[in-house]
Amino acid sequence: MDTSGTRGARIAVIGVGNEFRRDDGVGWAVVARLRERASGCPLPPGTVLAECDGEPGRLIGLWEGAGLALVVDAAHAHPGRPGRIHRLQLDAEALSSPPTTSSHGLGLGEAVELARELGRLPDRLVVFAVEVADTSLGTGLSAQVEAVVEPLVRSVEDEIVRHRIATAGGEAR
């Protein structure tokens, strides 16, 4: 992991899930697409792309010290609409107890609460939770979830651009 730069300058993009549980791999698919695109249009220096199984300690380690952490995860909703994206923005003041929407046993809410208690939260956390259709064993996303991968990639890129513009005033030029 690249930890160079000052706090606030580092950006962590974290795909949470399991690529061998079909739609639960949506976060990993977004990170993979970002890596492919980065060869033609590089991400800003200090941007880290990572996959994570959702274990709270690993999540905290990936976003610790980041000015912006972007997390893409699968979510179960009842009733659900597979492919629907929920965007949750949590600034430092609001990072106390977000709703748990993860498809994992211990969710993002628990990771955020633990990180808050340990003083290891990012300055800003944006979560993209994607409602899923199928988390059975196997590879490949359902058609509904696959259809939102590219729009999610663009949303992540847009968040990075907005963050860089917002923090440009405090950086040396």
Supply the CATH number for residue 95's domain. Answer: 3.40.50.1450
* 154 contacts: CB under 8 Å, gap ≥ 6: none
Question: Residue 111 pLDDT > 90, yes or no?
Answer: no
Token pair in block for residue 172: 């040396």
Q: Which two tokens stand for residue 68?
A: 């912006």
Instruction: Please count the structural domains in the chain.
Output: 1
Backbone angles phi, psi at 140, to 5 degrees: 95, 140
- H or E stretch including 49? strand 47-52
**Does residue 98 lie in a domain region?**
yes
Q: How far apart are the first and last CA of the chain?
A: 25
Assigned domain for 95 exists: yes
Considering only 11-15, 70-74, 115-119, which range has the smallest mean pLDDT?
115-119
Give CA angle at 23 (41, 157), nearest 5°: 20
Residue 27, in any domain of the structure: yes
Which residue in the block uniquely carries the two structure tokens 């196997």?
138
pLDDT-derived band at 42 (thresholds 50, 70, 90) equals: confident
Residue 1 counted as domain residue: no
Residue 5 lies in a domain: no
Task: Give the integer Cα–Cα distance in Å for 152 and 150.
Answer: 5
Distances (CA, A) of 71 to 16, 39, 137, 138: 7, 21, 23, 23
H/E element holding 90?
strand 85-91
Domain that holds residue 126: 11-168
How far from chain centre, in Å, is Cα 51?
Answer: 9
% pLDDT > 70, the chain: 83
**Mean pLDDT rounded to a whole number for the chain:** 86
CA distance 18 to 167: 33
What residue type is assigned to position 27 of the chain?
A: G
Query: What letter does residue 21 receive in the DSSP assignment?
Result: B
E strand or H helix at 14: strand 11-16
137 within domain boundaries: yes
pLDDT surpasses 70 at 76: yes
Q: Is residue 73 part of a domain?
A: yes
- Supply the pLDDT for residue 79: 87
